[in-house]
Amino acid sequence: MQPFGARVAIVEPRDFKTEIISEATRQGPYAAAFEKFLSERRAFGEKASTAEPVAALVARILNAPEFELRYVAAMPSQRLLLLIKRYAPQRVYEWSLRKILCQYRRGD
């Protein structure tokens, strides 16, 4: 895109509180699988951050004279999990993921 004068940045938002779950359809051939997904996500969704950090990141990128190609917008626990996924063995990542998900289910 640079030859055309367009600057591009990729913003990868992780889990943030949005209306997608509350407005999600519960009909059709995927309803049962989708309902299972929603039940897994509800506990996390209650503790998730709002989308304001993502909007602030986008605004910062738009106003910056120079910026990176890729940004991850995530809560601290998600950032830690991304680092573990990148640098630790797969079993350590899976263990960490289970610990985090179990905390959200219990409400810790």
First and final C-alpha spacing in the chain: 45
Give the pLDDT confidence score for residue 20 in this predicted structure.
61
DSSP 7-66: ---EEEE-SB--STTTT----STTHHHHHHHHHHHHHHHHH-B-SHHHHHHHHHHHH-SS
pTM (two decimals): 0.56
pLDDT in tens, 51-103: 888 899 999 999 999 989 989 887 777 788 888 988 999 999 899 888 876 66
Q: Which of 22, 14, 94 is nearest to 102 (CA)?
A: 94
CA dist., res. 108 & res. 56, Å (int) = 28
- Residues 16-41: what's their mean pLDDT? 67
At 70, which helix (H) or strand (E)? strand 70-73
Q: Which of 94, 98, 70, 75 is nearest to 11 (CA)?
A: 70
- Split into its structural domains, the chain has a count of 1
Residue 98: which domain range?
75-108
- Residue 88 placed within a domain: yes
Q: 72 near 81, Cβ under 8 Å?
A: no
- Residue 5 placed within a domain: no
- Residue 79 placed within a domain: yes
- Residue 64 placed within a domain: no
